[in-house]
Amino acid sequence: MSHHRFWGFIKDPIYGYIRLTDVERSIIDTPSVQRLRRIRQLAGAEFVYPAANHTRFEHVLGAMYLGGVVSDSLPVDLSPDEKQKVRLAALLHDVGHAPFSHLFEPLLLKYLGRNHEDMSRWIISESALSDVIAEQGFDAKEISGLAVGKPEKSTKPFLGQIISGSFDVDKMDFVVRDSYHTGAGYGAVDVFRLIYTMDVVDGNLAVDITALPTLESLILARFESFRAIYFHRTCRGVQMMLLKALDAARDDLQILDAKTPDEYMEWDDYTVWSKLQTNPHSRDIMSDISARKLLKCAYEKTFYAKDELVSSVFTNENVRVKLEEEIASKAKIPSADIGIDVPSLPSVPYHYAMNIGPIDIPVFSKTRSGEKVPQKIGELSRVVDVLQGFMNIIRVYTKEQYREEVSHAAERVLGEAPLSNVLSY
């Protein structure tokens, strides 16, 4: 079909050259996809890793590329059309992201009742983008399902798992790309080894156990990336400030009333940032960010085992507010100057936090006769087993001048915190 014709290359610092078809080019050139150029991949991380200015745009191109590599190398028969669909779904999987990516997620949920994946489906199937997809001979609704890992026709569930699953192209790309741009170094994972050992077992995507070392590397890389980038004390501090500013300037942010995909997509990092800077309720916070007067972490505690009490406490916003007030009262400062952060808390959520444990990674081994036998990875790899475990961090943030008091007050309320606060930019 003519629309699979090779159009040209895009240069990418990670993979070298990404080949595009005419179809892909048409879709990349829509405002929906181009908008991702103005949505940073890791809002807040640049305050620790100055070079982490990459955007969702590069990421979705990379995910599309890897989607193609997986489709081409899987030892099953896929038609050119199926391969094209996988690439398109990977390309569009993040099209619904709000400004500042995951940071905005709780506001989406609170005001629009949707998460970014819902937004992706909405945009793919009900905006001008849908028309372009249709013009190119594809079914926008089908692509929208595939883009969030839920293909309509369940006969080939592995197609959806390429986009969203235990070792999908989204994760593989972001682990490598975030590492490249931050320089953090955890993400030098050999994703191609993983891909070249993928197969389909009972309709599901699975990895040959011979790639176990690579799988362990990927899982550790993801784990360390959470700790060193996404959950970094300073990154989270900036994110809490931005969230406060967004809440304060809410009336100026019509994105939260968006009735159509197009109204929603008028907003990006640039427009939101500019609004926050001028809105009278948020501009002081933005001035502080601009002068790098950041909230400081006065208390931090990490849990590697599920603490039932703590967990139930922190899923309830009222309890959190109460604790903030209690700490404030003990520290004798206004409770508005206290912020408790738990990465999985709805108030400062982080998409990934929910599934940090790669619980059901499907692996198989091949018998001498070539049969593929599913294996339980937890039994084969103690590293994976451990990293599947629970990790939660509780932090208390406050202004620099209150740090000492809040630290002590928090220890009285939340228990002793073992480790020092260290220098890191």
From candidates 111, 273, 303, 352, binder to its own copies by CB under 8 A: 273
Strand, helix or coil at 97?
coil
Residue 7 makes contact with its own copies by CB under 8 A: yes
Residue 22, burial from CB neighbour count under 10 angstroms (0-12, 13-18, 19+):
middle
Q: How far apart are CA 412 and CA 236, in angstroms?
A: 23
From candidates 254, 260, 287, 316, binder to its own copies by CB under 8 A: 287
From candidates 139, 190, 247, 326, binder to its own copies by CB under 8 A: 190
Q: How far apart are CA 384 and CA 403, in angstroms?
A: 37
Beta carbon of residue 325, minimum distance to its own copies (angstroms, whole number): 25
The DSSP symbol for 166 reads T
Beta carbon of residue 213, minimum distance to its own copies (angstroms, whole number): 5
Q: How far apart are CA 264 and CA 32, in angstroms?
A: 10
Which range of residues in 162-170, 206-214, 307-315, 349-357 is near its own copies by CB under 8 A?
206-214
Residue 153, burial from CB neighbour count under 10 angstroms (0-12, 13-18, 19+):
exposed
56 neighbors 36 (Cβ within 8 angstroms): yes
Residue 107, burial from CB neighbour count under 10 angstroms (0-12, 13-18, 19+):
buried
Q: In the structure encoding, which two tokens stand for residue 187, read together?
A: 């993400």
**Nearest to its own copies of 120, 388 (CB atom):** 388
The residue count for binding its own copies (CB under 8 A) is: 87
Map residues 208-247 to x or -, x wherever contact with its own copies holds by CB under 8 A: xxx--xx-xx--x--xx--xx-------------------
Q: How far apart are CA 363 and CA 20, in angstroms?
A: 31
Beta carbon of residue 78, minimum distance to its own copies (angstroms, whole number): 17
Of 55-84, which residues contact its own copies (CB under 8 A)?
A: 55, 57-58, 61
Which range of residues in 54-62, 63-71, 342-350, 392-400 is near its own copies by CB under 8 A?
54-62
**Nearest to its own copies of 7, 111 (CB atom):** 7
Beta carbon of residue 317, minimum distance to its own copies (angstroms, whole number): 30
Residue 181 makes contact with its own copies by CB under 8 A: yes
Q: How far apart are CA 233 and CA 285, in angstroms?
A: 18
Q: Locate tokens 């900036």: which residue?
A: 238
Beta carbon of residue 49, minimum distance to its own copies (angstroms, whole number): 6
Beta carbon of residue 336, minimum distance to its own copies (angstroms, whole number): 24
Of 291-320, which residues contact its own copies (CB under 8 A)?
A: 291-293, 304
Q: How far apart are CA 354 and CA 361, in angstroms?
A: 16
**Nearest to its own copies of 14, 413 (CB atom):** 14
Strand, helix or coil at 175?
helix
Which range of residues in 90-98, 174-182, 314-322, 328-336 is near its own copies by CB under 8 A?
174-182
- How distant, in Å, are the alpha carbons of 12, 198, 205, 215 from that of 364? 33, 9, 10, 13
Beta carbon of residue 101, minimum distance to its own copies (angstroms, whole number): 14
Beta carbon of residue 202, minimum distance to its own copies (angstroms, whole number): 18
Which range of residues in 41-49, 79-87, 238-246, 338-346 is near its own copies by CB under 8 A?
41-49
Upper half-sphere CA count for residue 394 (Cβ side, 13 Å): 23
Q: Locate tokens 């990875």: which residue?
A: 377
What is the spatial order of strands in the sheet that 338-341 belongs to? 296-303, 392-398, 338-341
From candidates 1, 8, 154, 306, binder to its own copies by CB under 8 A: 8
Residue-by-residue DSSP string for 212-266: HHHHHHHHHHHHHHIIIIIT-HHHHHHHHHHHHHHHHTGGG-GGGG--SHHHHHT
Of 337-396, which residues contact its own copies (CB under 8 A)?
A: 365-368, 382-383, 385-387, 389
Residue 398 makes contact with its own copies by CB under 8 A: no
**Nearest to its own copies of 46, 82 (CB atom):** 46
Beta carbon of residue 374, minimum distance to its own copies (angstroms, whole number): 13
Q: How far apart are CA 66 and CA 87, in angstroms?
A: 8
Beta carbon of residue 228, minimum distance to its own copies (angstroms, whole number): 5
Of 96-155, which residues contact its own copies (CB under 8 A)?
A: none
From candidates 1, 51, 134, 359, binder to its own copies by CB under 8 A: 51
